[in-house]
Structure 1
Amino acid sequence: MNLNPNRGIRTFAMLLILIMTIFVSELQAQVSPRVQNIVLVHGAFVDGSGWQQVYEILSKKGYKVSIAQPALTTFEGDVAAVKRVINLQDGPCILVGHSYGGAVITTAGNDSLVRGLVYIAAHAPDQGESEADNGKIFPAAYKSLIKGNDGWDYIDPKMFAADFSGDLPKSKADFMANSQTPTADVVFHAIIQNPAWKTKPVWYMVAKSDRIINPELERMYAKRANSKKIVEVEGASHSVYISHSKEVADLIISAADLSQKKGTK
């Protein structure tokens, strides 16, 4: 009987390649690819246009970026507005919230399409908490809030730049002051139920010169949520998502790259 040792080696090599192919395929099935969809959520007193620079940076890198426009009238309505945008996505998404938008994504982030949460100088209340009560524990530096008799809050335009946008050009801060969106005071008192950050991975950015949310409160939120990455931006105002758009975009990309398949911790 004539045995060909080369044939045996080739057969063994082919079997080895087949086994490795199956192993790699199974491994890839367990690890999600980079999330391509990003949903951005603005906070109180502003609208989604402030995300323009972040939008442009992410779009140029191939991400599909959507910007939600909560009306700032009721918390439930704002969550519903964000969920409508989430439901328009063609696959998993990263949900990003600034300021009060953090409270919104803390609830809306329970959607099964959301793979990760990114908080940009934002509130992240726990079960039974509200951002208004948390703000009393860590008082902020601002003195510009005007509470109207009709239940709507406003920031004094004369103090808007100092309190909200201290690191932006004066012309930009003045425009924001005079184009701001009054916000229903009731939204700040919404009690959070089932916070998404307890089951979804979190990334957090602290604005170190924030006068609207105490940076110590931001640090508490970031630590409590077991954030995968915490970025502190020196000299950043509450408008950090505008003044440091590149750093914000980089943090969002980190979330898109590292989010787990099922969005769990």
Structure 2
Amino acid sequence: MPLTAISGTYQIVGFSPDGDTVCFVPDDPGAFAAAGLRPRVTPVGAIHLRLDAIDALETHYKPHSWHQQPELGDGAANALLDLLGFTDVQWDERHRVSAATPKTRPGYILTGFVDKYGRAVSFAFAGMRAGGTKDPVYLEVPELRRSVNHQLLGAGWAYPTFYSKLYADLREELATVSVAARAAKKGVWEHDSALTGFELKSQDQLQNQLVILPKLFRRLVDYFLSEDTSGVDLAGFATFLKAQDDKLFTVPAGQATSFAALVESRRQRLTLTVPPEQLVFVEAPPKVLPKVPPEA
């Protein structure tokens, strides 16, 4: 499946970008519709992008603004904005950008689908595309290396998180740079606790000290919110994780399994038993909005 190239501007003032999401305003307001895509559009015409194949530490997740280790989470957000060409970025107390130089930056994206939250899953680039944006694009590794996705992964600012729609050659390239970043202990890999295993002691430890795969962090937060507790008792976490039914297959083995089967849980100790670059998740189906019955 080819990708669609869309030119536009990145807009960050008034928004809350993080290490893998940013807002984008297409030059042609009808570009997404012409590609058969229906992302959610903000009142100012911006589209939320979800950067493909990477997952940065959470800076504001769900109610109460759950976050991960701030130095690396905020660092990834700033690294993304720097790669897009923004400087002097200022943040307010709600983690929204209040000012930046310049206020917008030109760029383009390569996208092929919209996720269940209405975000355009994309490879993002600064500047103009040498090959133009009129024709369908079969993304190849040389152009992939110029994406901010690739650069953030190579610098260790994000974990690899692959889904089945990602082409195998692109996935292999991104896995290679991620393994190199881990070997060099860059960014998240200097402090990662998921692969070595960690003892969960408090919610403060989870948010301000531990560095783990963001998908595992989100599942832990979802579990604690479902339990409506301020503690971190993991007695029911394995059952909860299994119920989420996060389907995936491993590479190169090609084993179909679930995320729950690869997270070892022993009392308060959790361990991710397979490196994240060997996991390929199956996309969740789009959310279906309930039908509104006609008025009587």
TM-score bracket for this pair, using the shorter chain length: under 0.3
Instruction: State TM-score, norm by structure 1.
Output: 0.24
Instruction: State TM-score, norm by structure 2.
Output: 0.22
Whose radius of gyration is greater, 1 or 2? Answer: 1
| Structure ranking higher in helix proportion | 1
Of structures 1 and 2, the one with the larger relative CO (CA 8 A, separation 6+) is: 1
| Structure ranking higher in strand proportion | 2
